[in-house]
Chains A and B, each alone.
Chain A
Amino acid sequence: MIGRDEVLHVARLARLALAEEEIEPMARELSAVLEHVERIGELDLDGVQPTSHVVASSSKVDVTRALRPDEPRPCLPREVALAQAPAVSDGGFLVPSPQA
């Protein structure tokens, strides 16, 4: 159902490297799961509203408070912000340049 090329395309979208020997098992396992989940294709769902937020769908709940007042809160000290970074330079997070 899902082939090698599709696996590689999706892996690329997800920024996942796959070793050569990981590709075929991934295709097989994904296909097996997709076969099960595709059962929802059996259902007649015309006109059914999709649920994104089970809370927002509940009429019991006042959702207007979901916004935040525009009031400042303390920021993290820079050394804390950078403390867990794999590579740091000049007060910033060091990365390979995107256009390189």
Chain B
Amino acid sequence: MSEPATTPTQPPEGGSPKQKDSYEAVIGLEIHVQLATVTKMFCGCELSFGEPPNTRTCPVCLGLPGSLPVANAHAVHLGLVIGLALGCELAPRSVFHRKNYFYPDLPKGYQISQYDEPLCRGGALGEVRIRRVHLEEDAAKLIHVGSSGRIHGSDASIVDFNRGGTPLAEIVTEPDLRTPEQASEWLKLLRTTLRQLGVSDVNMEEGSLRCDANISLRPACSAELGTKTELKNVNSFRFIERGIRAEIARQERILHAGRQVVQETLHYDPASDRITSLRSKEEAHDYRYFPEPDLLPVAIDQHMLAAARQALSELPSERAARFQRQLALSLETAQLLSFRSELGDYFEAALAAGADPAPPAQALANWVTGELAPRLGGYGREHDDRGGGSAVADEPVDGGVGGDPVNSRVTPAALAALVGMTAAKQVSVGAARQVLDRLIAEGGDPRAIVEAEGLAAMDGGDELAAIVAAAIAANADAAQRVREGNAKAVGPIVGQVMRQTRGRADGTEVARLVNEQLGV
């Protein structure tokens, strides 16, 4: 017996927390990535980006009688690049199979996919092992049109074959994830990796990255796996967390009630937070896989391997390690710069700008991640929940970090010059922040702004000493308390100096001068 899948998935009110903690979730992901080719997987139609329905079709991708597929060499190449990046074993010979089932979005009555001889096997990304990577073709799009006069009295859809046949790489992980948050974090790392490889747009609004999750629960100390369910198309980072959480809660309730989880395919509806069963019970699945007789096995030769190796750029994890090793950046900063490759790219451009005085790497990294990026605001692209989209929506990795500095008026050289001047104490931190605001608003050269605005740091010379003396005189009470040993009373004096110098003076230097003049 199973709990009806349509039960709302609110957390149980009365369950004892101890009992709740006694299960561990085991999560594996299946990710479909649309590959960044020009044409479809098995025909010469260009990939579609929102063209009118059925304007990107040919006899092959419409499944017309007599048409035959021919595999896209570039899709195979991109599959190999993914395989290499994930440390997979590449099959010297892999085989396309037919996966047979009927659905209106499947023009041939079968999907050409790979089965027991995939392109890549094994590998890992971070702490998650990869089971396999294989190539297949995407289905077409079904658009619900409601009741139609043509099929009277019943519900109708139209089929748009523009998307049908788009090349996909399916990446399947081992069940190495344990929490919804971990799953979402890992998926972000995968997305960054794929984006940096250039194998896919990973443009989530377009549905070029889609994720299914396999979820099972087991007693906390058990090594045995429980019955798993497959949660289909969890379509944003937020929803993948919520969906997995909801399914874990559903399974916990079933197990606590002493019942069995049923192996089935489920759909998570974020609007209602409900999980529903996707397939009717009578629809027993029997895909009748057999080797696609219209396609020869894909044989990987040395030339293709060399091309894939060449296309392999540095991965986020490798870049982070390099930042730590070569530039002595902190772990946190190195990861931030690597996992958001646009920040890393900007940082490296600034570092290479040859500013004099040169900015220290950690200081420059801090300015990129802690000052510049947050001032540029969050990602403009909020995900949208339109129907049909099974995309993982785009969201900033870290809510506070902000936008892409490449699109701002601040050139990498300008930021490098500013940070260099700050580090050399030619401008104070406060003044430098003012300069940065000006740069963001208007662009330009930081040194010119400093000079024009008179923001250069004051050294400890006579001018500053005079201002300090005047401030002590104006705050006689405070000065007296400092002399009596209350070090904190120095605040109003320093504050006045800073106001009068409009931040040009270095706070530490001012405090030192005040104490000197007060003889403490």
Contacts and interface: CB of A to CB of B under 8 A. Distances in A.
Q: Do chains A and B touch in the complex (CB under 8 A)?
A: yes
A69 B71 CA distance: 9
Which of A66, A68, A78, A90 has the most B CB atoms < 10 Å from its CB?
A68
Interface in A50-100: 52-53, 55-56, 63-64, 66-76, 78, 81-82, 87, 89-100
Given A53-B297, A72-B38, A96 B44 contact: no
Given A70-B39, A91-B52, A98-B104, A63 B299 contact: yes
Contact of A67 (B46, B72, B103): B72
A15 interface: yes
B19 interface: no
Contacts of A76: 57-59, 62
Contact of B151 (A15, A78, A96): A96
Interface in B494-513: none
Contacts of A73: 39, 43-45, 58
Contact of B54 (A64, A70, A74, A92): A92
Secondary structure dominating the interface of B = loop
> What band does the interface of chain A fall in when counting residues whose beta carbon is under 8 Å from B?
35 or more
A76 to B, nearest CB: 6
A55 B156 contact: no
A15 B73 contact: no
Interface in A1-46: 13, 15
A64 B303 CA distance: 11
B52 A98 contact: no
Contacts of A95: 104, 142, 156-159
Nearest to B59: A76
Interface in B36-76: 37-39, 43-46, 52-59, 62, 70-76
B384 interface: no
Nearest to A77: B55
A18 B71 CA distance: 37
B148 A68 contact: no
A72 to B, nearest CB: 5
B72 A70 contact: yes
A89 B148 contact: yes
Contacts of B156: 89, 94-97
Contacts of B296: 53, 55-56, 63, 66
B73 A75 contact: no
B116 to A, nearest CB: 12
A75 B298 CA distance: 26
Interface in B282-299: 286, 288, 291, 293, 295-299
Contacts of B55: 75, 78
A92 B104 contact: no
A57 to B, nearest CB: 10
B356 interface: no
B258 to A, nearest CB: 33
Contacts of A64: 299, 301
B102 A70 contact: no
B37 to A, nearest CB: 5
Interface residues of B, number: 52
A15 B102 contact: yes
B477 interface: no
A15 B158 CA distance: 20
Contact of A91 (B43, B54, B73, B76): B54
B39 A87 contact: no
Given A76-B57, A92-B53, A81 B74 contact: no
B81 to A, nearest CB: 14
A87 B104 CA distance: 13
Contacts of A99: 155
A67 B73 contact: yes
Contacts of A70: 37-39, 72-75
A66 B158 contact: no
Contacts of A94: 145, 148, 150-151, 156-158
Given A89-B156, A96-B154, A75 B145 contact: no
A33 B301 CA distance: 44
B143 interface: yes
B20 interface: no
B38 to A, nearest CB: 5
Contacts of A55: 296
Given A53-B297, A73-B58, A91-B52, A68 B155 contact: no
B160 interface: yes
B259 interface: no
B280 to A, nearest CB: 10
Contact of B62 (A81, A96, A97, A98): A81
B44 A81 contact: no
Contact of B46 (A53, A68, A72, A89): A72
A68 B53 CA distance: 25
Contacts of B45: 72-73, 75
Nearest to B282: A12
Interface of A: 13, 15, 52-53, 55-56, 63-64, 66-76, 78, 81-82, 87, 89-100
Interface of B: 37-39, 43-46, 52-59, 62, 70-76, 95, 102-104, 142-145, 148, 150-151, 154-161, 286, 288, 291, 293, 295-299, 301
7 contacts: A53-B297, A63-B299, A67-B71, A72-B46, A82-B54, A89-B148, A92-B158
Query: 3 smallest A-B Cβ distances: which pairs?
Result: A92-B158, A73-B44, A70-B74
Given A78-B53, A98-B104, 14 more contacts: A52-B293, A56-B297, A66-B70, A66-B298, A67-B73, A67-B76, A67-B298, A70-B74, A76-B57, A78-B52, A78-B57, A94-B157, A95-B142, A97-B155
